[in-house]
Structure formats: C-alpha cells, structure tokens
Structure 1
Amino acid sequence: MENQAIPKRTILAIIGAGLMAFCGVLTETSMNVTFPTLMKQFGLSMSVVQWLSTGYLLLVSLTMATSAYIQRRYKIRSIFIFSGVSFIVGSFVCAMAPNFITLLIGRLIQALATGYAIPLLFAIILQQIPVARLGVFMGLGGMVVGVAPSLGPTYGGMNTYLFTWREIFWFILPIVVIAVLLGSFTITQKMKTRRDTFDFLGVILLGASFFLIAEGFTEAGNFGWLSIQFWGFLIAGLLVIGLFIYHSLHSERDLLDLAIFKTPTFVLSILPYFLIQLMNIGISYLLPNYSQLVFGANSLVAGSAILLGSLVGAIVQPVSGRLLDSHGAGYPIRIGSVLIVVAMVLFAVFGLHLTIPMIVAFYTIFGLGFGFSFGNVMTNGIQQVDGKLQQDANAAFNTSQQYAGSIGTAIMAAILTGSQHSHSHLSQAVLSARGGARDFILLAVLAIVAFVLIMINFRKQAKKIKV
C-alpha cells in the first residue's frame, strides 16, 4: 500500500493547488517587514498598518469557514479558477495602490482567494491520496501553509530593500498564473455536488465575532489590557460566538457541521494546532519588526533572520509526515512540541539581550519543532472524526489556522505598541525591546499549554484504542 502509485494528473493538481496556496500564504506575512516603511509613507501608526495582516487573516478565516459548504455546492475546479482570478486582481490593486485604503482593499481581495485555495489543497489530498500515504502528502500541504508565512518576511524584506514594497505583488504574479493554468487542466471532481441552503446569518455572526475579538486585542495596544475598549470588544465577540453556536445547532441551513466538536480527541488536536499557528504567525510578525525597531537592521536583514528556520521547517514537514505513516502520529508530534517549548523558553529567557545570531539559532529550533508537529497535528485531528465529517474538519482546521494568525499578529502588535507608549523618556529601541520580551514570555506560556494539550490528547487516543 505504501508504494501505491498516484496518478500524475493528481500530483499535478496538488502542485497547482499548492502553488496557489503558497502564494496566498506567502503574502500573509510578506508585508509585516514593510510596516515601518508604510508607517512613514502613509503617516500611520503601527496599530493601523497592522490591519494589512490582521484584516487579511480575518477574511481568510471567514472564507475558510464557508469552504466546506462551497466544496459541496460547487465543483472544485471552478472554485480554484475563481481563487486564481481573485488573487491576480487583488495583486494588481495592491501593486498600484495610491493610498493605504486601496492597498487594504487589494489585500482583502487576495484574502478571498487564499481562503478558498488552502482548503482546496487539503481537500484534493484527502479525497485522492491513499490513507497509507496520507501523512507524507498532508506533510507537504502543511509545509506550504505552515512555512510560507515564515518565508514571507524574507521575501518582503528583500523586495523592500532592493526595490519597493510594490514588487512583493508584481513578482508573485507569474507564479499565480502558472498555478491557475496547471490546476485548471488537472483538477478532477471526485465527489458529487449538491444544492444545500447557505447559512448567511451564520457567516455574519461568525464574521462579527472574529472582527470583535481581533479588534479587542488591537485596542489593548492603544488603551491597555484593563481598558473598557479591550474588554468591551472581547466580551462582545465571545457573546456573538455563543449566538453563532446556538444558531448553528438550531438551523437547518448549511455552513459548518459542529458535530466534529463532539469528539474530544478532535478538540484536543485543533486547540494545540491553533496555538502552534498563533506562535508561528505571531513570531514571524514580531522578529522582523523587533530587528528593525531594536537593532536598527534594514528590512533585508530583518526578514532574512528567520530564513534558516523556515527552510528547516519546510524540509522536515514531509519527512515528519512519513514518520506519521510508519510510526503513528504521537512520535513526530511529541518531538515537535518539545522543540517548540525549548525555542520559546530560550526567546523568553534572552528576550532583552537578543542578537541577530541568537534569533537565527532559536528560530531554527522553533522551525524544526514546527516541522515535526504542525501538519501532523492536523492529519491526526482529521482522522479522529467520521469520514463524512472530514470536509468540515478540514474547514475547521484551516479556519482556526488563519484566525490564529490574525489573533497572533494582533496580540504581538498590541503588546509591542503598548510598550512603545508606556514611558516617553526612554528610546523607542528600548521600549520595543521590552515589548518584545513580554511577547516572548507569552509565547513561551502558550508553547507549554500546547505541549500539555498534546500529551492529554495522546493519552485519550491510547485509551480509545484499548477500548
């Protein structure tokens, strides 16, 4: 079974979908390193400019929440072509944007494309790859969506330093065109479509909750963690999530089947997955900005500091997927979670005394841990639910992954901004270093929480097998 041949057409379809997803995820964080430049160019604060990432990730998250329904309703080839055209249009708008608002609109058009492209990649893998080889291919998919955000700052920094931030969008266009052509001719339909009724109210409630919570963390940077603005938005967001859950359980309209959350081992998979991605996007936002604001590094150096760790993570993902196929999920995921804890604790301990070489070394440890755990946590989680619920599980994982990124960016930016406003008599470099140190401590705590959840999950899975 392990050597079961996979048709070339399927491989090419996965490559096409993978390229599209890669381009979408690469642009998620490629703009992070340009924030100091954009703040000067448009005369805006960090809390406003960071919406280029937070807004992008919010819309990607919301779009992904509808992906299970969209894949049941429309042919995946049509969805793929729509994504490709949207991404091309969004890239043109961004590249030619005369002001910040136009740039943000272009980013949101790109987000719509990315939100459908990523679940599509995993849908093709889950539907067309034999179970015996699923770990390797899910590892490849995880490599695309997990490592591309870390490569983004390097790509963005290189373009901003050598050219301008506009080239970030121009240079990626040919790859998107190739992806669209490749996928258009190779993607095949394996499942029948059906005409279900779309849950518009569910989408509105989910979108409102996503925005309110993310805005709450943004307001924390401006007004503090004890402010009415932070707690008001946060509580309102949680209340709207409650309304969404109540509505979904009592509605006959179709969006996302919440039955997936009745499986404890699925919940214990998606929670650490959320935290790992929050750490991944959060730190890939934090480190390039930290390097520029604290060390005075240029955008090229700041972006390149996390390149080695990104490459290590990329190489390890498919290898760790093979370990899952041969030894089970527990082996690579436990290794990865331990390495992530080690990396985050090192960042926390040396937070006020970091150097560029230390950032490279610590982030490489994180990249190694990320490569062992990220894709495998998703594969293991999806395998915990019934086959008929796998589309919904895929949508839930991808939604949580992107929303984790938006929350991670918002929290890192809020703590950094809050520190910058705290003591006017100190330099911005010192205040940014203090804010970064607090971010690292939070990330270390989250890494430990994720590790504990993973350990509990595998104990439950072991008991399940014995029963």
Structure 2
Amino acid sequence: MQNQTIPKKTILAIIGAGMMAFCGVLTETSMNVTFPTLMKQFSLSMSVVQWLSTGYLLLVSLTMATSAYIQRRYKIRSIFIFSGVSFIIGSFVCAMAPSFVVLLVGRLIQAIATGYAIPLLFAIILQQIPVARLGVFMGLGGMVVGVAPSLGPTYGGMNTFLFSWREIFWFILPVVAIALLLGAFTIPQKIKTRRDTFDFLGLILLGISFFLIAEGFTEAGNFGWLSIQFWGFLVAGLVVIGLFIYHSLHSDRDLLDLTIFKSPTFVLSIIPYFLIQLMNIGISYLLPNYSQLVFGANSLVAGSAILLGSLIGAIVQPISGRLLDSHGAGYPIRIGSVLIVVAMVLFALFGLHLTIPLIIGFYSIFGLGFGFSFGNVMTNGIQQVPGKLQQDANAAFNTSQQYAGSIGTAIMAAILTSSQQSDSHLSQAVLSARGGDHDFILLAILAVTAVMLILINFQKQAKTSQA
C-alpha cells in the first residue's frame, strides 16, 4: 500500500498547484521587510503600512472561507485558472503602483488568487493521494504554505536591497505563469459539481468580524491595550462572530458546514494549528523589522537572518509527514511543539540582548519544530471528521491559517508601535527592542498554550481509539 503508484499527471497537478500556492504565500511576508522603506517613500506610519499584510491576509482568509462552496460549485481546474490570472493581474498592479492605495488594491487582487490556490493544493492531495501516503504529501503541502512565509523576508529583503520593492512582483510573474500552464493541463476533477445557494449574509458577517478584530489590534498600537478603541472593536468583532455562528446553524444556504466543530479532537487540532501559524507569521514579521530598527541592519541582512530556519523547516516537513504515515501523528507533533516552546522561550529570555547569530540559531530551532508539527497537525485534524466533511475541514484549516497570520502581524505591529510611542526620551532602537521583547514573551506564552492543547488532544484521541 505504501508503494501504491501515483499517476504522473497527479504529481504534475500537485506541483502546479504547489507553485501557485507558494508564490501567493511568499508574497504574504516578502513585503514585511520593505515596511521601513515604504514608510519613508509614502510618508506613512507603521500602523498604516502594515495593512499591506493585514489586509492581504484578511481577504485571503475570507476567500478561503468560501473555498469549500466554490469547490463544490465549480471545477477545480476552472478555479485554478481564475486564481492564476488574478495573481498575474494583481502582480502587474503592485509592480507599477504609483501610490500606496494602488499598491494595496494590487495586494488585495493577489489575495483572492491566493485564497483559492492554497485550498486547491490540499483538495487535490486529499482527493487523489492514497491514505497510506497522505502524510508525506500533506507534509509537502504544509511545507509550501508553512515555510514560504519565512522565505518571504529573505526574498523581499534581497530585492529591496539590490533593486527595489517593485521587483518582488516582477520576478514572481514567470513562476506564476509556469504554474498556471502546468496546472491548467493536469488538474483532475474527481468530485461532481453541484448547484447550491451561496450564503452571502454569512460571508458578510464573517468578513465584518474578521475586520473588526484585526482593526482592534491595530488600534491597540495607536491608543493602548486599555483603550476604548481596542476593546470596542474586539467586543464588536466577537459579537458579530456570534451572529455568524447563529446564522450559519439556522441557514439552509451553503458557505461552511460548522458541524465539523462538533468533534472535540478537530477543535483541539485547529486551535493549536492557528496558534502555530500566528507564531510563524508573527515572528516572520517581527524579526526582520527588529533587525532593521534595533541593529540598523539593511533589508538583505534582516531578511536573510531567518533563511536557515526556513530551509530547515522546508526539509523537515515531508520527513515528518512520513513519520506520521509510519508511526502516527502523535510522535512528530509532540516533538515539534516542544521545540517551538524551546525556541520561543529562548527568544523571550534573550529579547533585549539578541544578536543576528542568536536570531539565526533560535529561529533554526523554531523552524525544526515548525517542520515537525505544522503540516501534521492539519493532517491529523482533517482525519478527525467524516470524509464528506473533509472539504469543509480543509477550508476551515486554511481560513484559520491565514487569519492567524493576519492577527499575528497585527499583534506584533501593535506591540511594537505602542512601545515606540511610550517614551520620547529614549531612542527608537531601544524602544523597538523593548517592544520586540514584549512580543517574544507573548509568543512564548502562546507556544506553551499550543503544546498543552496538543497533549490534551492526543489523550482524547487515545481514549476514543480504545472505546
């Protein structure tokens, strides 16, 4: 069973979808390292410029929330072609943007493309790959969407240092074009499409809640964590989420089947997955900006500081997927989550005394832990629901992954911004170091929370299997 042959056409389809997803995720964080440059060029604050990432991730999240419906309604090859064409258009708009607003519009067009490309990658894997080899291929998929955010700052920093931020979009275009051609001729259609009624109200409620919560964290950076602006947006966002849940449970229209959350082991998988991705995107945003603001490093050095850890995470993901296939999910996920805790605790302990070598070393430990845990948490979580709900589980995981990135960026930026504004008598380098240290402490707390939930989850899964 382990050696079951997979058709070459399926492999090529996965490669095409993987390339498209990789390009989309790469651009998520490639702009983070350009923020100091963009702040000067457009005369804007960090809280405004960071919407290039936060807004992008918000729209990706919303698009992904519709992916289960879209995959049931349209052929996945048609969705893929739409995604590729949208990405190319968005890249052209960004590369030629004369103003920040136009740049943001281009990013949002790219966000729609990415929001459909990533779930398609996992949909092809789940539909076409035998269960006995699912861990390896899901690991490869996790490698694409998990490691590309960490490679983004290196790619963005290199282009900004050697050329300009516009080359970030020009150089990605040929890869997207190749992916589009490859996927258009190879992506199979296994599931019949059907015409369901789309839940527009549910999508609107979800979009409003996502925006309100993200904006709340942005406002915290400007007005403080005890401000009415922060708590007002946060509480309003949570209320609208409650309305979304109530509406979804009482509507016969189709968006996302929330019955997947009736499984405790699914919930105990998706929450740690959310936290791990929040840490991943958050620290991928924080470290390049920390290096520039505190050390005065150029964009190339700042982006390259996390390259080794990214490569380690990339190499480990498919290997850890093979461990899942052969030894079960608990073994690699437990190892990975503990390594993430170790890395985040080290960052917190050395937060005010970091150097580039220490960043490289600590982030390499994080990359190793991320590679062992990230893709496997998703694989294990999707396997906790019936086969007919796996499209919805896939959509839920991908939506949570991207929204986690949006929230992670917003929180890291808010803490950094509030620290920079806290004392006019100290230099921005000192204040940025303090803000970074507070970020690291928060990330360490989240890492401990994630590992506790993971341990509880496997205890529940063990009891379920014995029953």
TM-score (norm 2): 1.00
The aligned counterpart of 2:415 is 415
Q: Deviations over 1:44-89 (max 9, x none)?
A: 0000000000000000000000000000000000000000000000
CA apart distance, 1:386: 0.5
Q: Deviations over 1:27-54 (max 9, x none)?
A: 0000000000000000000000000000
Q: Deviations over 1:410-451 (max 9, x none)?
A: 000000000000000100000000000000000000000000
Q: Take 1:164 and 1:355, find their aligned partners in 2: how far apart are those partners?
A: 26
Q: Take 1:404 and 1:126, find their aligned partners in 2: how far apart are those partners?
A: 23
CA apart distance, 1:245: 0.1
CA apart distance, 1:363: 0.1
The aligned counterpart of 2:213 is 213
Q: Take 1:278 and 1:171, find their aligned partners in 2: how far apart are those partners?
A: 27
Q: Deviations over 1:278-320 (max 9, x none)?
A: 0000000000000000000000000000000000000000000
The aligned counterpart of 1:69 is 69
Q: Take 1:188 and 1:387, find their aligned partners in 2: how far apart are those partners?
A: 19
Q: Take 1:203 and 1:338, find their aligned partners in 2: how far apart are those partners?
A: 36
1:460 aligns with 2:460: yes
Q: Take 2:466 and 2:191, find their aligned partners in 1: how far apart are those partners?
A: 34
1:141-160 aligned at under 5 Å gives the runs: 141-160=141-160
SS of the equivalent of 1:39 reads helix
Q: Take 1:388 and 1:164, find their aligned partners in 2: how far apart are those partners?
A: 47
The aligned counterpart of 1:331 is 331
Q: Take 1:156 and 1:226, find their aligned partners in 2: how far apart are those partners?
A: 35
Paired amino acid for 1:5: T
SS of the equivalent of 2:44 reads coil
Q: Deviations over 1:155-203 (max 9, x none)?
A: 0000000000000000000000000000000001000000000000000
CA apart distance, 1:465: 0.4
SS of the equivalent of 1:164 reads coil
1:20-35 aligned at under 5 Å gives the runs: 20-35=20-35
Paired amino acid for 1:273: Y
Q: Take 1:6 and 1:383, find their aligned partners in 2: how far apart are those partners?
A: 21
Q: Deviations over 1:358-394 (max 9, x none)?
A: 0000000000000000000000000000000000000
Q: Take 1:150 and 1:202, find their aligned partners in 2: how far apart are those partners?
A: 32
Q: Deviations over 1:231-255 (max 9, x none)?
A: 0000000000000000000000000
Paired amino acid for 1:143: M
SS of the equivalent of 1:454 reads helix
The aligned counterpart of 1:186 is 186
The aligned counterpart of 1:431 is 431
**Structure 1 consecutive aligned stretches of length 4 or more whose deviation exceeds 2 Å:** none
Paired amino acid for 1:17: A
SS of the equivalent of 2:198 reads coil
The aligned counterpart of 1:446 is 446
Q: Take 1:174 and 1:97, find their aligned partners in 2: how far apart are those partners?
A: 19
Percent of aligned pairs with the same residue? 89
Q: Take 2:207 and 2:147, find their aligned partners in 1: how far apart are those partners?
A: 26
Q: Take 1:424 and 1:97, find their aligned partners in 2: how far apart are those partners?
A: 34
Q: Deviations over 1:206-256 (max 9, x none)?
A: 000000000000000000000000000000000000000000000000000
The aligned counterpart of 2:51 is 51
Paired amino acid for 1:416: L
Q: Take 2:188 and 2:20, find their aligned partners in 1: how far apart are those partners?
A: 16
Q: Take 1:188 and 1:450, find their aligned partners in 2: how far apart are those partners?
A: 36
Q: Deviations over 1:112-157 (max 9, x none)?
A: 0000000000000000000000000000000000000000000000
Name the count of aligned residue pairs.
467
The aligned counterpart of 1:390 is 390
Q: Take 1:239 and 1:120, find their aligned partners in 2: how far apart are those partners?
A: 31
The aligned counterpart of 1:280 is 280
Q: Take 2:455 and 2:200, find their aligned partners in 1: how far apart are those partners?
A: 38
Q: Deviations over 1:88-107 (max 9, x none)?
A: 00000000000000000000
SS of the equivalent of 1:256 reads coil
Q: Take 1:236 and 1:104, find their aligned partners in 2: how far apart are those partners?
A: 25
Q: Take 1:445 and 1:337, find their aligned partners in 2: how far apart are those partners?
A: 13
Q: Take 1:189 and 1:283, find their aligned partners in 2: how far apart are those partners?
A: 38
SS of the equivalent of 1:340 reads helix
1:268 aligns with 2:271: no
CA apart distance, 1:408: 0.1
The aligned counterpart of 2:406 is 406
The aligned counterpart of 2:137 is 137
Q: Take 1:369 and 1:188, find their aligned partners in 2: how far apart are those partners?
A: 34
1:291-310 aligned at under 5 Å gives the runs: 291-310=291-310
SS of the equivalent of 1:189 reads coil
1:223-234 aligned at under 5 Å gives the runs: 223-234=223-234
Q: Take 1:253 and 1:125, find their aligned partners in 2: how far apart are those partners?
A: 27
Q: Deviations over 1:311-361 (max 9, x none)?
A: 000000000000000000000000000000000000000000000000000
Q: Take 1:55 and 1:218, find their aligned partners in 2: how far apart are those partners?
A: 11
Identify unmatched segments of 5+ residues in structure 2: none
Q: Take 1:8 and 1:208, find their aligned partners in 2: how far apart are those partners?
A: 43
SS of the equivalent of 1:188 reads coil
Paired amino acid for 1:83: S
Paired amino acid for 2:37: T
Q: Take 1:267 and 1:6, find their aligned partners in 2: how far apart are those partners?
A: 32
